[in-house]
Amino acid sequence: IDLIEYPALKDVIVLQTVYEELRHLNLTIYNRLKKVIEDRQRRFYVFSNEHRRETYVERLKEESPNDRNDRAIREAVKWYTSHLQESPTNDHKVVLLSDDVANRKKAISEGLLAFPVEKYVESITETPELVNMLRKMSVSDDSENKFTYDEYLSPAQIANGLKDGTLYQGTLSISMHNYLEGSITPVIDGQENQIMIIGRPRMNRAIQGDVVAVQLLSKSEWLRTPSAVIVEEDEESAILQDLNEAEISLDQTSKDPESSGELQPTGRSLNRYCGFINKKTTDSSGQARSEHVTVIPMDRRIPKIRMVTRQARNLLGQRILVAIDSWPKHCMLPQGHFKRILGPAGDKTTETEVLLLEHDVPFQDFSKQVLSCLPFEGESWKVTNEYLSRTNFTHLNVSSIDPPGCEDIDDALHVRILPNGNYEVGVHIADVTHFVKPGTPLDEEAAIRGTTVYLVNKRVDMLPALLGNNLCSLRADVERLAFSCVWELNDDADVVKTQFTKSVIISKAALTYEEAQRRIDDLHMEDDLTKGLRILNQLAKKLREKRIERGALTLASPEVRFQLENGSQDPVDVAAEEMKELHETNALVEEFMLLANISVAEEIFRKFPESSLLRKHPPPTSSKLEKLSKTINEFGLTLRYDSSRTLAESLDKAVIPEEPYFNKLLRILTTRCMMQAAYFCSGSIPQKEFVHYGLATQIYTHFTSPIRRYSDIMVHRLLEACIDENLSYGSELTDIKKITQLCEVLNYRHRMAQQAARSSVELHTHLFFKNKKEKNEGFVTRTLKNGFIALIPRYGIESIVLATQKSGMTPPVVYNTRTNSLDSTSSSTKIKLFDKVLVQISVNEDLIGEGAGGMRQKLKIELVEPFISGFSVSVSEENNSIRKSDEEIGIQVKRMKMD
C-alpha cells in the first residue's frame, strides 16, 4: 500500500475482485486504497470485472475461493489485453502484478505479461527509491540476536486479565529525556493512577502511543529513584546495559506511590516515523548494493529502526519517512522499510513537514471533492432574502476583539440597556454549520482534521480559507450569519433569561485587544460602541469575581513569540511587543465566551442527556500536588488542594516578595499537576464526573470557536436541534458510540496540535540561537539523577541541564532522595526545585551522523552559577550576550484558559 500511495505510480487498474477481497481482509488498507482511487490525478480505476459478462467466472466444482479469484483476475487481464489491442495506436500493454507465484506462472502459460511487484518496480528507473519500499528485512538480518523479549499474551488472556483486574490498559507515554522510561495512566477504582514502566525489557517492544496491557510487579520492585537523562546514542549498548541493570537487588530499591509494571502492546496508533540514516551504519565502500542501515527517528521516544536499502548513500543528509513492519521478539530493534524522502535536513519547509508528520497533523491541500462543497459564488457570496427568517441584529453595535492580524474571527459581542434597567448581552458566533453540512466531504475532512494547528511560521486550517478567513469570519462592515447566545443580565451580572437564535449581524468594528482597551481607558471617547465596551468590561469583572468565588483557577504557562524576518521568515528576535501582561479586554472576551459555553452546555444536555458533546476537567491526583506542597513548605508557604477554591486561595497567598517570579513559577508547576481536559459524550459517564475542575463549573462544552474546532461544529448542530423542533437529524446527534469515538479523535487531534505547536517553537528556538551563546537567568523546575530541568523565563523555554560524568571520575553531583536535591560532591552547594540559576544557552553542534543537524540540532543549556566543580562551565564575557532578569525585561506569562 505504501508503494501504491507513492505519487509517481499512475495508470493502475484495480480489479473489483481484488478490491472487494481487500475490503474484507483489511478495512484500513482498503480505505487507503480508496483514497488513492479518488485522486483523479493518479488515474487509478476500479474495473467491475465481477459484473461484466466477458470477465465474470463461475466457481468450479472443488475449486477453492482463492483459486477462483485468481482465475477471475487472469480472465480480466485477458479481456483488457484484447480490448486494448483494438485501440488505433495499439501501444498499450497490460501487466499483471502479483506476488502469488502459482498465479503468475499460470498467467504466463496463458500468454499474459506477469511480473512480481519488485521486479516491475526495478524497471522504473526514474524513481529508484520505489525499490526501498519493498525491501523488508528478514528476521535473520538483524545484527546479533543477543537477547529475547517476552512472548505476548493472547487476546483472550488479555481480555481475561483486564476483566479480573490483574492487567491494566492504557496508552504508553515515553519520557522525553529518557527513552527507557514510560508510563500509562489507567483508571483504577474510579481514579486515574500512573503506572511506571522502566527499561526496554519491561516495555517489551511497545512504542510511544501504543495501547498496552500492563501487569503490576510486586510492591518490593517499585522504584522511587528519579529519572535520569539518557544521552547514550548507541542504543544497542544502552539497551544491553539496561538488561544488566534490570537485575537490581531489592535493597537498592524503595517503595513509591507510583506503581511499576510490565506490558505488551494491544494496538499501535501509528507506524510511520520521520528520521535520518545514521552514517555510521552505512557501507563506506560506496558500492550500490542492498545494505542494512539504522534510521534514527527525529522523536527520541521512538526506538531506532533497522531497514534494508540500496540507496543509503543517496539518503544521507535527507529527512526520510520510514514504516515499522515488525519487531520480532529476538531482535533488539524494530524492523521497517523506506517510504519516501521528505527533503534535505535543515531546510525550513522540510523540517516543518517533519514536525507535522511526527504529530500526525493532516496538512495536505483540500481535495476537489471538499472544495466542491463551498458556495459556487466564492468570495462574491452574500446574505440574501432567504435568511430573513433569522433574528436581525444588524442594527446593533456588534464588535469583535481579537489578537492583531486575526483573520478567522469566530466571535463578536454586543450590549444594550433594556427598558427595565437590565442589560442585553449577545455573544455572536460564526455560523459555520450553515456551510458545513453533515456527511459531506467538507464535513468529513473537518472531522478528520479536528482542529486548526498554529505553528510559529504557518497555520494549518481545519476549514478551507474561503470559509475560515472570509464567509464565516465575522469581519467588520459586512453581513454575516451567526449563531447567537443572548442573555438578560442584571447589575450584578446574574443571568435573568437566556435565548439562542440563528441571526444576521454586521460587526461595526474588528478591534484588537489593545484598541479595545484604549477605547475603554480614553474618557474622551463617548461614542455608543465605546460606551458598550465599558459596560461589557464592568459586567465581565463581576462574572470573573463570581467564577473565582466558586473556585476557578488562574494558572500560568510560559509563552514565547518570535519576531520573524519578512522575507526568510527566520526568527530575528523575541517579539518585544508581545512581552507584556494581558489587557482587561482579554478577560472581557474570555468571561463572556466561558458563560456562553456553560449556557450552551446546559441547553444541549436538557435536550440530549445521553448524546451531548461536553468537556470535562477531572480533579488532579493528590500525589502530584502533595509533592509540590512539601517543596513549598520549605519556604514557609502552604498549598491546600482539597478543592479548587482552596487551591486558588493558596496560590494567591504563595508570594515571596524578594522573588517576584516565584508565584508565576508555582502556577506553572501547579498547571503540570493538572489532569488534561477532554471531550466526552454525556451518556458515556456518570453525571457527577461532568465537572470542569479548573473552571469550577458542573457542566461545560465548546461552542465559541467553530472555525477552528470541530467539537464546536457538533455542538452547534446539537443546539440547533434544541431550538428548531422541525429540524430533522440523524444518528450523528444521538448515537452514543459514534459521538464517543468522535470525542476520542478530537482529544487526540487537540493533543497533537498542542505538541506540534511546542515543537515548532522548539525548532525556531534552535534556529534563533544558532551561532550564538547567551547567559540568562533560569529556575529549576525538576531535579533528575544526573541533572535538572531549567525554565528560562525570558524565552519561555525549558530544557535539561546535564551533569556529565567523566569515566573513572567521581560524579560532580549526587541525587539526595531525602531533600529531592542535587548535592555537589566537592562542596556544600545544593540544587533544588525553585532555585534560581544562571545558565548558558547555545545550540549543540555535535551531530549524530550526517543529516542530524540543521534546524533540528539540540538546544544546549549549561550551568554557570552556582559554581559546582565538574558541572558548571566558565564563561568568557566577550563571547556572551547577557540577558537580565524578568524585573528588567518584560515577561509574558500566558494566563491559562482552563477550558
CB-based contacts of 503, cutoff 8 Å, min separation 6: 390, 391, 392, 393, 428, 481, 482, 483, 484
Residues 389, 259 share a domain: no
C-alpha cell of 562?
Answer: 518570535
**Model pLDDT for residues 230-285, shown as the tens digit of each residue:** 654 445 555 445 544 443 322 222 333 345 555 555 555 557 899 999 888 887 66
Question: Is there a domain that residue 898 lies in?
Answer: no
Specify the number of domains making up the chain: 5
Mark whether 650 and 589 lie in a shared domain.
no
Tell me the pairing of strands 859-865 and 168-171.
Answer: unpaired
Q: Which of 126, 141, 168 is the last residue of a domain?
A: 126
Per-residue pLDDT, 691? 96
- Measured CA to CA, the distance from residue 348 to residue 455 in angstroms comes to 13
Please state the rounded mean pLDDT for residues 364-388: 91
Q: Is residue 165 domain-shared with residue 115, that is, in the same domain?
A: no
Distance between CA 623 and CA 471 in Å, rounded? 49
Mean pLDDT of all residues in 828-835: 93
pLDDT value at residue 891? 34
Could you tell me how many helices (H) and strands (E) the chain has, helices first? 22, 40
Q: State the average pLDDT over residues 292-312.
A: 89
d(CA 60, CA 46): 25
Residue 813 within any structural domain of the chain? yes
Inform me whether the pLDDT recorded for 656 exceeds 50: yes
Structural domain harbouring 106? 2-126
User: Is the pLDDT confidence value at 576 over 60?
Assistant: no
- The pTM of the full predicted model, rounded to 2 decimals, is 0.82
DSSP string across 114-168 = EE-HHHHHHT-TT-GGGGGGG----GGGSS-----PPPPPPHHHHHHHHHHTS-E
| Lowest mean pLDDT, pick from 94-103, 417-426, 488-497, 541-550 | 94-103
Residue 754, pLDDT > 90, answer yes
Q: Residue 603 above 90 pLDDT?
A: yes
Q: Would you tell me how many other CB atoms lie within 10 Å of the CB of residue 877?
A: 8
Is the distance from CB of 213 to CB of 264 less than 8 angstroms?
Answer: yes
Task: Indicate which CATH number applies to the domain containing 200.
Answer: 2.40.50.690
Q: What is the mean pLDDT of the chain?
A: 85
Given a cut of 80, is residue 611 above it in pLDDT? yes
pLDDT of 245 reads 45
Same domain, 178 and 264: yes
Instruction: Quote the CA–CA distance of 655 and 500 in Å, as a whole number.
Output: 43
Q: Which of 784, 870, 798, 875 is nearest to 831 (CA)?
A: 784
What tens digit of pLDDT does each residue of 679-692 get? 999 999 999 999 99
- Where is mean pLDDT largest: 297-311, 730-744, 790-804, 836-850? 730-744
Q: What is the pLDDT of residue 646?
A: 94
The answer, yes or no, to whether residue 393 has pLDDT greater than 70, is yes
Chosen domain end from 76, 111, 126: 126
C-alpha closest to that of 398 among 379, 382, 385, 411? 411
Q: Is residue 356 part of a domain?
A: no
Q: Is residue 563 in a domain? A: yes
d(CA 58, CA 37): 28
Is 887 a residue whose pLDDT tops 70?
no
With 0-12 CB in 10 A as exposed, 13-18 as middle and 19+ as buried, what is 4?
middle
Confidence check: pLDDT of 573 > 70: no
In terms of C-beta density within 10 A (0-12 exposed, 13-18 middle, 19 or more buried), how is residue 765 classed?
A: buried
Least confident of 23-32, 193-202, 244-253, 843-852: 244-253
Mean pLDDT over 489-506 rounds to: 97
How is the chain split among helix, strand and coil, in percent rounded to 5? 35, 25, 40
Q: Is pLDDT of 448 > 90?
A: yes
Q: Is 687 helix (H, G, I), strand (E, B) or coil?
A: helix
Query: Could you give the dihedral angle defined by the CA atoms of residues 572, 574, 576 and 581, in that order, rounded to the nearest 10 degrees?
Result: 160
**Do residues 153 and 289 share a domain?**
yes
CATH number of the domain bearing residue 91: 3.40.50.1010
Tell me what pLDDT residue 882 has: 46
Give me the half-sphere count of Cα atoms (radius 13 Å) on the Cβ side of residue 495. 14
Cell of 255: 517503595
pLDDT score of 823 more than 60? yes
Residue 483 belongs to some domain of the structure: yes
The pLDDT of residue 244 is 47
Say yes or no: 564 and 502 in one domain: yes
Task: Indicate whether 260 and 319 sit together in one domain.
Answer: yes
More confident call, 730 vs 391: 391
Of the candidate ranges 11-25, 84-98, 659-673, the one whose mean pLDDT is the lowest: 84-98
Burial (CB count <10 Å: 0-12, 13-18, 19+), residue 219: exposed
Residues 667 and 688 in one domain: no
Domain end, chosen from 64, 91, 126, is at 126
Do residues 738 and 797 both lie within one domain?
no
**896 inside domain:** no
491 and 402 together in one domain: yes
DSSP state of 684: G
Residue 70 lies in a domain: yes
What's the CA gap between 202 and 186, in Å, rounded? 17
Q: Which of 579-583, 588-592, 662-666 has the lowest mean pLDDT?
A: 579-583
Say how far residue 718 (Cα) sits from the centre of its chain: 26
Q: What is the DSSP letter of 889?
A: S
Question: Dihedrals φ, ψ of 277, to 5°?
Answer: -80, 130
CA gap 679, 700 in Å, rounded: 10
Same domain? 213 vs 323: yes
Q: Residue 885: its pLDDT value, please?
A: 36
Highest mean pLDDT out of 73-87, 507-521, 778-792? 507-521
Q: What is the mean pLDDT of residues 115-140?
A: 71
Q: Do 48 and 141 have their domain in common?
A: no
Own/partner pairs for 873-876, CB < 8 Å, 24+ apart?
873/840, 875/773, 875/775, 875/840
What Å distances lie between residue 151 and 167, 218, 639, 687, CA to CA?
16, 20, 46, 41
Average pLDDT over residues 509-526: 95
The answer to whether residue 848 sits within a structural domain is: yes
User: Within 10 A of 443 (CB to CB), how many other CB atoms are there?
Assistant: 20
